[in-house]
Amino acid sequence: MKRWCYSIQMKSITTAQQICKTWHLTDNEKMQLLDQPGAAQQIVTINDGLYRIYDLDQDRASAWIKKPNRAFDNEPPINVMLAGDIERVRKYVMYRVYNA
């Protein structure tokens, strides 16, 4: 059982690292983001949600991360995530997916 959970966790981390590349994050931003507890799975969830919102357009979904957003006091979502509030961004994206 432990081996299976570890395998899933490593897959999430690898996937999250790939997503960080598509988001055009710097190495420092990527490390800061991935050092947060539970960040890998939340990054995967955020990316999947954005992919749905933007009708499978990865370029638009990736650009959203760095654009100022009124929901975050005109800060880009990446700033909110780097400040340690990935969950806030995840909840916002999931709300948009299911209530848009």
State pLDDT tens for residues 32-81.
Answer: 999 998 899 999 999 999 999 998 788 898 999 999 999 999 999 999 99
Q: What is the CA radius of gyration of the chain?
A: 13
- With H, G, I as helix, E, B as strand and everything else as coil, classify residue 73: coil
Domains in the chain: boundaries: 2-99
pLDDT digit string, tens, across residues 10-27: 577 889 999 999 999 999
Task: State the pTM of this model.
Answer: 0.86
Bigger pLDDT: 85 vs 12: 85
Cα angle value 63/50/85 (rounded, 5°): 85
